[in-house]
Amino acid sequence: MRDIVILGSTGSIGRQALDIVDMHPGRFRVTGLTAHSNDLLFVEQVKKYRPLMAGLTGKSISPPSGTDFCQWHFGPSALEVASSQVPCDDVLVAVVGMIGLGSVLNARKTGKRVLLANKEALVAGGQLVKDLCPDDPQNPALLPVDSEHSAIYQCLMGAKAKCFRRIILTASGGPFMAWSADRIAHATLDEALSHPTWRMGEKITIDSASMFNKALEIIEAKWLFDATPGQIQVLVHPSSIVHSMVEFADGALLAQMGLPDMRVPIAFAMAYPERITTGVRPMAPEDFSNLRFEKPDFERFPALRLAYEALSAGGAACCVLNAANEIAVNGYLHHAIRFGQIARVVEETLAALGPMPADTLEAILDADRRSREKSREIINQISKEDI
Ligand code: NDP
Ligand code: MG
């Protein structure tokens, strides 16, 4: 029996993690749950899983009757309590945005294994997270949940550290892969929210359409696998069957494949090192015909270029990129900017702020705050230009 705390239990990843718990009675005990604003679903979850602690970060409610088996916490500090004080083996960090960084650090400081969906935490504070995750393949401190990084992790199992030549991150390409730059620039919210292969939360769906999701994943791969930017390549693979690949020095290329369903990488991390059922249909090899891969277009999708530039700039540039993207996506969701202006906000924020350190949590929080301020200013400026 493994005890698990799930941060972001009402989200797409959180709900699928609870599906895995349901499929395996007696294997997992949910000791803590947090959500942000969806109190109706959250109360149902709390009543069903009976955690020791329940945290609602975005609002306060009266603890519902019949839930006195758990301690309730309200407001942002609920994440801190859930990640550091609730007894458990694993903390699944499935909140959205760099708000998850503190939880990742707390969980590691209190000796828990982190199951990481929240890629923004690693993008913003990669070095700090890495410093708290000793490299021990027998007892990993952190397991990736992101499907590409789970695939790479699986391809590297049993391999000696750093023996790969290249990591190939696959990308579905999102809904705009075949669109012209001009059409992408004016994409509507409905168009950006209709992802061809994955059903996910709103923010990551927009990120997938702009390819900022892949930009964040390039940076995530650097920290998870100690890869240089030159060792990380992105290939567009629209059917999302090959979840990623690793090329080794001997010329071997290992891939992890399957239907695109997040329950596989979620269950892989939750049950590691065992493999458990997920309800996902396995693919027959004859279905693997016509696998298509192509190089991404850095012109129509500047996010990829910006990721490599931020990696080579070092310091807090990746943190700045992430924060500016969070603000720009929010601006797009609220109709303050057009789709094509998301990358512009990020690029102009990076240019305006210049180099900043990222060696302490304070430095990262400062860079994050300054990036958010600057990108809000840029969005205001863009809105004025458009009038
Ligand atoms: P969702 O938007 O579906 O869920 C986000 C969760 O976080 C919800 O439980 C939400 O609560 C909670 N939340 C939102 N804002 C805050 C906040 N400010 N503080 C604390 N909690 C908050 O997102 P996803 O599940 O899609 O994604 C979660 C993370 O996993 C992201 O980092 C994403 O990039 C990553 N990921 C997701 C994949 C997917 O398939 N969905 C695939 C790979 C990675 P509430 O709903 O109650 O408001
Ligand atoms: Mg992914």
Let me know if residue 211 belongs to a domain.
yes
Q: Using 50, 70 and 90 to split pLDDT, how confident is the model at 383?
A: confident
Question: Does residue 21 fall inside a structural domain?
Answer: yes
- What angle do the packed helices 263-271 and 12-23 form, to 10 degrees? 60
In a domain, 376, yes or no: yes
- CATH number, position 112: 3.40.50.720
Query: What confidence tier does 384 reach under pLDDT thresholds 50, 70, 90?
Result: confident
For 289, other C-beta atoms within 10 Å of its C-beta total 6
The better pLDDT of the pair 63, 160 is held by: 63
Contacts of 321 by beta carbon, 8 Å cutoff, 6+ apart:
123, 215, 219, 306, 307, 310, 346, 349, 350, 371
Q: How long is the chain?
A: 387
3-class secondary-structure state, position 32:
strand
Nearest residue by C-alpha to atom 40 in ligand 1: 200
Q: 387 pLDDT exceeds 60?
A: no
**Residue 190 to residues 41, 147, 209, 343, Cα–Cα distance (Å):** 25, 25, 11, 19
**Hunting for tokens 């059409």 — which residue is that?**
183
Residue 16 lies in a domain: yes
**Would you say the CB of residue 200 lies under 6 angstroms from ligand 1?**
yes
pLDDT(63) > 80: yes
- Distance from CA of residue 49 to its chain's centroid? 25
Q: How many CB atoms lie within 10 A of CB 212?
A: 29
Q: Is residue 276 part of a domain?
A: no
DSSP 344: H
Q: Are residues 350 and 203 in the same domain?
A: yes
Same domain for 340 and 216:
yes
Same domain (yes/no): 229, 350: yes
Q: What is the pLDDT of residues 64-86, one digit of tens each?
A: 999 999 999 999 999 999 999 99
Q: Are 118 and 104 in contact (CB under 8 A)?
A: yes
> Terminal CA-to-CA distance of the chain, rounded, Å?
59
Does 330 contact ligand 1 (Cβ within 6 A)?
A: no
In the prediction, which pLDDT does 203 show? 94
Both 190 and 331 in a single domain?
Answer: yes
Of the candidates 118, 144, 170, which is a domain's last residue?
144
User: What would the pLDDT profile of 102-154 be if each residue is shown by its tens digit?
Assistant: 999 999 999 999 999 999 999 999 999 999 999 888 899 999 999 999 999 99
Query: What pLDDT does residue 377 have?
Result: 97
Distance 271 CA to ligand 1 centre (A): 21
Ligand 1 in reach of 119 Cβ (< 6 A): yes
Residue 128 token pair = 């700090």
Domain that holds residue 179: 162-258+292-385
Residues 14 and 94 in one domain: yes
Percent of the chain with pLDDT strictly greater than 90: 91
Dist CA 317 CA 315 (whole Å) = 6
Tell me what the mean pLDDT of segment 168-177 comes to.
94
The secondary element (H helix, E strand) that includes residue 281 is none
pLDDT band at 331 (very low <50, low <70, confident <90, very high): very high
Question: How many domains is the chain built from?
Answer: 2
Please list all protein residues whose beta carbon sits less than 5 angstroms from ligand 2, which is an ion.
146-148
Write down the pLDDT at residue 271. 98
CA distance to 79, 144, 205, 245, 300, per residue, from 233 (Å): 34, 18, 21, 10, 17
Token representation of residue 227 = 């890869």
- Quick: pLDDT tens for 31-51: 999 999 999 999 999 999 999
Which secondary-structure segment (H or E) carries 57? none
Asked if residues 283 and 259 have their Cβ atoms less than 8 Å apart, the reply is yes
10 lies in the same domain as 97: yes
Q: What is the mean pLDDT of the chain?
A: 95
Q: Which of 33, 42, 96, 218 to mutate to test the pocket of ligand 1 (most atoms within 8 A of CB)?
A: 96
The residues pairing with 247 across neighbouring beta strands, listed in sequence order, are: 166, 253
Mutate which of 204, 327, 333 for ligand 1? The one with the most ligand atoms within 8 Å of its CB, which is 204
Q: Is the pLDDT of residue 283 over 90?
A: no
Whether ligand 1 lies within 6 angstroms of the CB of 95 is answered as yes
